[in-house]
Amino acid sequence: MAPLARLLDFIVTGRAAAQYRERTVRTWTSGFKTLLIAMVLPLVLAGCGINTIPTKDEQAKAAWGEVQNQYQRRSDLIPNLVATVQGYAQQEKSVLVQVTQARAQATHVSVDASTVTDPAKFAQYQQAQNQLSGVLGHLLSITENYPDLKSNQNFLALQSQLEGTENRIAIARRDYNEAVRQYNTEIRTFPGVLWAGTLYRSAKEMQSFAATSEAQTAPKVNFTPTPTPSSPPGQ
């Protein structure tokens, strides 16, 4: 009986050990699969473009911020420009008032992150800035009639800064439009349209600046002194 008991005990022990090993293998296999999925899944999702929409959204918002910065820079230059011109060309009061009013209107237009996805608010902002660009261009054009003003160093410095700012505005608008184009294309085409309809349902198309000549053309600045007309003979 003893040998038989030992045999049975050996069989039972062997089965238990085998079951233990089997459970251990299953546990390790399950853990390895979980770890593998955790490592591979983000790469697969990234390859499918899950991060593309928020990435392009941030890029477009950054470009929008640069547009606002450049418009603010221009707004900050205007009071000194108006004051300088006023000292030499008081008869152009109506133009100076138009510039001041256009600046006030552009400054009072409320903008935030939602402006780029709101067609009405974006159009209001663009119209106000375009109007300011127009009256500024007119102001700079009439200064050609005042040689003393054109030789004023403070005016020349402000004029140069304004011209540079207008160029930076044009560049910022161009970069913003490109960022918006990429973002809008992403949420309308595959596979971005799938993510926009599931994970990013709040994603909306952004507005872009219209490529009008008034908005995109910087004021012409002429630093060449205007010749003084010669007096008629006999005077």
Is 224 among the domain residues? no
Range of the domain at 113: 63-216
Alpha-carbon distance 71 to 77, whole Å?
Answer: 10
| Residue 26 in domain | no
Position 95 in a domain: yes
161 Cβ contact partners less than 8 Å away, ≥ 6 residues apart? 77
Q: How many CB atoms lie within 10 A of CB 104?
A: 13
Residue 74: CB atoms within 10 Å: 22
What is the chain's pLDDT, residue by residue, as a tens digit (235 residues)?
566 555 556 565 666 666 667 776 677 666 555 654 554 444 444 456 899 999 999 999 999 999 999 999 999 999 999 999 999 988 899 999 999 999 999 999 999 889 999 999 999 999 999 999 999 999 999 998 999 998 999 999 999 999 999 999 999 999 999 999 999 999 999 999 999 999 999 999 999 999 765 544 554 544 444 444 333 344 4
Q: What is the pLDDT of residue 41?
A: 44
CATH of the domain at 95: 1.20.1440.20
Contacts 24+ apart (CB under 8 A), 110-117: 111/68, 113/61, 115/64, 116/60, 116/61, 116/64, 116/180, 116/206, 116/207, 117/204, 117/205, 117/206, 117/207
Structural domains counted in the chain? 1
Residue at 45 is within a domain: no
Q: How far apart are CA 218 and CA 134, in angstroms?
A: 10
Phi and psi based region of residue 49 (left: phi greater than 0; alpha: psi -120 to 50; beta: remaining): left
